[in-house]
A and B are shown apart, each in its own frame.
Chain A
Amino acid sequence: MSAITMRELTKVYPNGVRALDALDLEIADGEFFALLGPSGCGKTTLLRTIAGLEVASGGNVHIGGRNVTNLPPGKRDVAMVFQDYALFPHMTVQDNIAYPLRIKKMDRRSRGEKAAETADELGLTALLQRRPGQLSGGQQQRVALARAMACHPQVFLLDEPLSNLDARLRLEARTFLKRLQRELGVTTVFVTHDQAEALALADRIAVMEGGRIRQVGTPTEVFRRPANTFVAGFIGSTPMNLVDAEVHDGELAVAGTRLPVPDEARDRVSAGEKLVYGVRPEYLDYSPEPAPGALSGQVVVVENLGSFSLVSLDMPSGDAPATPGTSLQVVVPEGREPEPGDTGWVVPRPGRSLLYRDGELVSTAAPPAVPAARTGADAER
């Protein structure tokens, strides 16, 4: 049982920067949890506050039901893997892995055995007598993970675990990390600024901005239904199209076209209201011919992204309050790319459009705090 609960957690640095702003968050036992956000959003501060390397200015942190807010890092039963791995350069791999056990006063022999055992699980046996400087980036990362695993902590904290690896190795390490976390079943919190990494690895993601959490949800929830325009713009390899819209006669006037109001928002909008219409480029179908309920525009840029292309269209300003030059991006499968200068039509897929009022999603359901399955599992224990 090692859930992490934070209540009203606040961190104000001596220079007055409010890195964490009365933050509430629950991370379930065994969960692989991502803290995602742009640089300076407080995600690393949050991780370091859980680790105890930063002292909270207010609020509290519980790990496994124990209030650890005022405990030093060594007493919290957590292990942290740093962005640069922080392997001690003057120690061999074996001594590095055994270091937490040395601190726990385990005798030299048993800690050597334990280190060798942990190294074996991660395929590091051949490297035990090397020094960190003689290892590749991927090997260094695995040594850092082995060192964290050796002391069997309740919680793993990973600071940007993949950012020090080159692109190809990163994919490999991502799969490795996800499998390792599944096998160990230890609650793991990691920090990343890369939304693709968060979507791929995490069971749940907290998207942060300016010391606050803007949305917590599974990768699917965060991708399909961003709770606000910040998350909509941040998640996804191509940001969501956000276009000004106005409600007219139960329909939406968007860039010269009338579109139906999304079902969930139908009872929550009033005539004449100005909103933002959001749809992902992946959820738009391109057509070279006019189609019913389509937005039309002129193709300006075609970016080839391998198996698909990202097409940008300029929308005309019609009776809708779209500013001239409003543009849409749409994903077009290979072989069907238009040429720049063509006129094209795009049809939003049903059920994939969202409406935002003052930056917040207009929807019927309240945003889910902790997923039902996880909380159910916790309740049983």
Chain B
Amino acid sequence: MTAITLYPLDKTKLLTHISFAVIFASIIPAINPDFPLYFSERIRFVTYLALAGMALVYIHTLVLYPILILEKNRRKYRLYLFGVLFLYLLVGIHLGLLLLTREGQGKNDFLLVRSFAPLDSEQAIWIFLFPLFFLLPITFLSHIYSLLIYREKVLLKLLEFIGNVIVVFLLFVLLAIVDGGVMFMILAIILAVFYCNAFYATPLLIDEKNIKKYLLVLLALCSCYYISSITYGWNVGAVGRGERFVAFLFILTGVLFISLVLSFIYGYIRLRLKAKEQLLNLKIGAKESELKLLKSQVNPHFLFNALNTLYASSIQENASKTADSITQLANLIRYMQEDINKDFISLERETKYLQDYIKIQEARCAIPPHVELKFEHIDDYQISPGIFIPFVENAFKYGVNPKGESELLVSVVCQENTIHFECSNTYDANFEVFHREQGFGIGIKNVKERLQLVYPDKHSIDIDKRDDMFIVNIKINTSNT
């Protein structure tokens, strides 16, 4: 539930997860000893560990990480994480024990072992260290996976970092294969120049437009590069005299040129992307402040204080009906501004709003409808706000004829953890709309969705049109909510 609110599933996401699950499930028969494909017991041990690790990745992403983001409860998250990791370690050690004690004893399913043979110290260390070693990539992977799902921005930086690490690693491997590692130092120097230019020098030129400083830094970089590579080359004996020295310098300069150009392009692209993101953030910020401004224009506190002043004037003028209407209106506005956004409010308040709404609507009718209200045993009950109001609203919209006789019955009765709401009103077959405005605008379709979301399998809704009556029955079971 918590993970789903953070990460709403659509079809493609669901398909990806299901295919992942199918792949994992297919590994399990593949490592079964009876299956045609035979794996050695060590490989099966590792596969089991990896499977448990994948389970851990999923548990972390779907259960633990939401605790961190939604509940912001770092302690709970850590506690659970350590619990799960510890469990994983136990499983790994157990699997290792099973494997080692049976290795080379003929029967080739180590999971069937029931008794352990004594271990020597080397084996014991291996058993403990192996799952522990496995934990590193798994925690890393699960963190990246969680970031991938919940926080895309952080991920981009991480991906850039990992990409750089991989490229640098590959370069070193390539060099090791080509010349056996003699030139490692030179590569390191070139990389230093590359990153200095990309991260430090290029922003000087593009962002700050400080050409003098840029050239100075570039000059310093180049001289450092030449001095250190020539000294190093001399020491390893890669640099000779005369023509060989010129050739070395030539290669050095070529490499420098390429690395400077590439790093400039890299730095430039980075800066552009960053500027774009900043612009986007600015736009979002502007939209947000616009929204805030809009909200402050209808500052509720101003409104309530103003209504209070009106209330005072009306009681001073002995206009008690006006005074009552003002408090009812204030209650309704407060309801729309505050309570409607809460998860649950007390049923008593909800019914109070129903009453206030009915009274205000009644006051607007030339011939008020005959209204019957029944609220019984509603203390101690909570309800998701806004479920009943649309029906009463509709009753006034379609059912209550302001110029003729009409009837409205609203009842909320609670019994044994069940809230029973009934709203019935006279109903004109000609379907004339008397009050056209939107009002709360929640709508019956939304009410149904809300009921399904908040009280799944715990409610019934029954809408009945018979003769000249429109009857709505809602029953909500509130146990365990």
A pairs with B: no
> Which A residues are closer than 8 A to B by beta carbons?
none
